[in-house]
Structure 1
Amino acid sequence: MRRQLNTLYVTTGGAWLHRDGLNVVMEVDRQERARLPLHMLESIVCIGRILASPALLGYCAQNGITVCFLTENGKFLARVEGPVSGNVLLRKEQYRRSDDPAATTAIVRNLLVGKIHNQHAVLARGWRDHREGLSDPAKYEHAVARLKRIPLRMLEADISTDFLRGLEGEAALAYFSVLDQLIRTEASALHFSGRTRRPPQDAFNALLSFLYTLLTHDCRSALETVGLDPAVGFLHRDRPGRPSLALDLAEEFRSLLGDRLALSLVNLRQVGERDFHSADGGAVYLTDEGRKKVLVAYQERKRDQLLHAFIEEKVDIGLLPFVQAQLLARHLRGDLDAYPPFLWK
């Protein structure tokens, strides 16, 4: 498996990126602000009003460096990449499985078992560490119990993908109904009453949405690394312009790299009310400075290590999407009888 290389995040509004030999150079107001060797990069993510030269984009496309453009609020705009690579036989098998209801259900079942197990792990840790400080312990304990039962219902025979999606919705309702109890700050603006998106309606949802966007980008890179098509998923239905399989893969890591990190950032006061701003219509987004803080914390979190239960090895958190993408590819090739989800312990 190819090691995860660096991702360059560019957040300075009005920045101009261009190529100078084998380096990418960032200029702001015609003043050079940064320079980095291109061979160190796997991808470049431009957030906000960022310009890139054709020479830089051409070099990146030829050398397997993807360039993504996001709005300042983290919404995906475009992706520049070179010719599609990967095993055509693997992709053809991926397409066959995605059109086979039974095969799709088998993969979706394990994806969601992993997702809900990891959501349960977040709440179980919160119950263990902060039981005395919870605002509604009875409701919280009930949610923990529900998240423990739902994966068992997913293992029943003769179950459909749509039914699994319904159980996922039930789990999400229980999970997000009590997640606010783990936010230990007196600032009311940093609390939330449930998941909202497109657009997020409060600061914590804005933080979650931005982290989920970064995670989806990493999952897409992981899938392309092993030769899978990130646009053809199993849980998320195909839709033009949507990386459905990347969204599938991200589900297992949302609680670890999204929710837990968001809670840490708020509870440790690494982000505060000043790092968010409200737009017309009530939408809330991170400020430029807020995004920089989150990006630093996200990259630092990816350097931590966890034991992967299936391969029985310690793995950098940032490499976990690559491990899971490889395991999915092995399942599609027939090397594994089932897709083994990532289970956080």
Structure 2
Amino acid sequence: MKRPYYLFSSGRLKRRHNTLALEKMTGERQPDDAPEDEALPSAEADGARTPFPVESVDSLFLFGEVDINSKLITFLGQQGIPAFFYDYYGNYTATLYPRDNLLSGHLRVQQAQFYLSSKKRLVLAQAFVEAALFNIERVIKYYQPRLEGEARTAAQVTLQALTRDREALPKTTDIPTLMAVEGRIRDRYYQLWPHFLGENVTRLFPFNKRERRPPSNELNALISFGNSMCYTTVLRQIYRTALDPTIAFLHEPGDRRFSLSLDIAEIFKPLLVDRAIFRLLKTGEISPKHFEKHLGGCYLSEAGRKIFVQHWDERLSQTVQHRELNRKVSYERLIRLECYKLVRHLNNPVHEPYQGLHMWW
């Protein structure tokens, strides 16, 4: 069974016969933005190789400093294996994307037409936001009974505002208004996080507001890294369909980004990213020692990223009983199913209208 591989070691990734091998480096990776950096390897490979069968590789996530050559790129392309690259601070930077093998000219035309039609685009954008708000609501309702006093009241006030905004979504007339509604609710939702995490965790990880570029503190760093993992995980599933990841409906398509991944990731952040963060902080698996400060920002250290990625991989393999398919489905498979739902809507919006995933567990 194929699965993603997460490579934290630095070195040279090679094709070895008909499989893959990482020839590791002996030195430590240096920051990518160092003034003296000349885009050369931080250290030489020491010859020690870690092979892994290509037949088991669904995708590669490269967190170390990894050298590759055209022969390796050709081999990955032949095997249909995408590779996702992250910089020294754990920020997603690029994707090595194999040549499309599930091309559908009809679907691509339909996807473009839905984007170009303001009415059709708005319907899909509303569905993405509605599902995202519904899943945020599920998270708040999970924690609300565990809160007391002012914390419980704050959660109730946020739920009331969320319900009003979610019910008013069909009345919105443009994408910027939708984005503003989603952003406003998410900000109020983040204000509840100290209550969800409890006094002991909040004392170690103070959190006032969401700050991104760069993350200002440990909790912001966790959110940024988790969102980045969600984005690339969604992109990996889009690649397994005939959808064009650059044509989106909620987020504006732009240069150098796969905007459709941003659309679908909004639905899964509360389920995958937020719950992962709560779990790792409340159990103490990630602590202040797993962060480092650099150039005014705060980032997960390599040790912290390893812990998060291991938990992330385990979370993606968790299953729930699907109410329509009547069988257990993994969280990762739910993302693929979401892509299929979008495909059906694009082909037949009347009989297969799209509704974003609503958590039922």
Same fold by TM-score, threshold 0.5 exceeded?
Answer: yes
Report the aligned-residue RMSD.
1.9
Question: What does residue 223 of structure 1 align with?
Answer: 238
Q: Does 1:34 align with 2:30?
A: no
Describe how 1:71-86 pairs up with structure 2 within 5 A. Answer: 71-85=87-101, 86=103
After superposing the two structures, state which structure 1 stretch, 200-209 or 68-77, moved more.
68-77
Q: Output the TM-score relative to the length of structure 1.
A: 0.92
Match of 2:251 among 219, 231, 236: 236
C-alpha contact 2:2 2:55 (8 A) present in aligned 1 = no
Q: Structure 1 counterpart of 2:213, which letter?
A: R
C-alpha contact 1:143 1:175 (8 A) present in aligned 2 = yes
Describe how 1:1-345 pairs up with structure 2 within 5 A. Answer: 5-12=2-9, 14-29=10-25, 30-32=46-48, 34-85=50-101, 86-128=103-145, 130-132=146-148, 136-156=151-171, 159-184=173-198, 186-187=200-201, 188-281=203-296, 283-309=297-323, 311=325, 313-334=327-348, 336-345=351-360
Q: Output the TM-score relative to the length of structure 2.
A: 0.88
C-alpha contact 1:185 1:267 (8 A) present in aligned 2 = no
Q: Which runs of 5+ in 1 are unaligned?
A: none
| Separation in 2, partners of 1:170, 1:271 | 28
| Separation in 2, partners of 1:60, 1:226 | 18
Per-residue CA deviations over 1:129-162 (Å, capped at 9, x if unaligned) read: x223x76322222112222232111133x63323
C-alpha contact 1:201 1:284 (8 A) present in aligned 2 = yes
Q: Structure 1 counterpart of 2:23, which letter?
A: E
C-alpha contact 2:267 2:357 (8 A) present in aligned 1 = yes
C-alpha contact 1:109 1:154 (8 A) present in aligned 2 = yes
C-alpha contact 2:147 2:195 (8 A) present in aligned 1 = no
| Separation in 2, partners of 1:239, 1:284 | 27
Q: Which runs of 5+ in 2 are unaligned?
A: 26-45
C-alpha contact 2:292 2:300 (8 A) present in aligned 1 = yes
| Separation in 1, partners of 2:155, 2:192 | 6
Q: Structure 2 counterpart of 1:181, which letter?
A: H
Q: Structure 2 counterpart of 1:11, which letter?
A: F
C-alpha contact 2:64 2:88 (8 A) present in aligned 1 = yes
C-alpha contact 1:67 1:80 (8 A) present in aligned 2 = yes
Q: Indicate the percent of aligned positions where both proteins have the same amino acid.
A: 22
1:309, CA displacement in angstroms? Answer: 5.0
Per-residue CA deviations over 1:259-279 (Å, capped at 9, x if unaligned) read: 111011000111001111111
C-alpha contact 2:222 2:277 (8 A) present in aligned 1 = yes
Aligned residues between the structures: 337
After superposing the two structures, state which structure 1 stretch, 109-118 or 75-84, moved more.
75-84
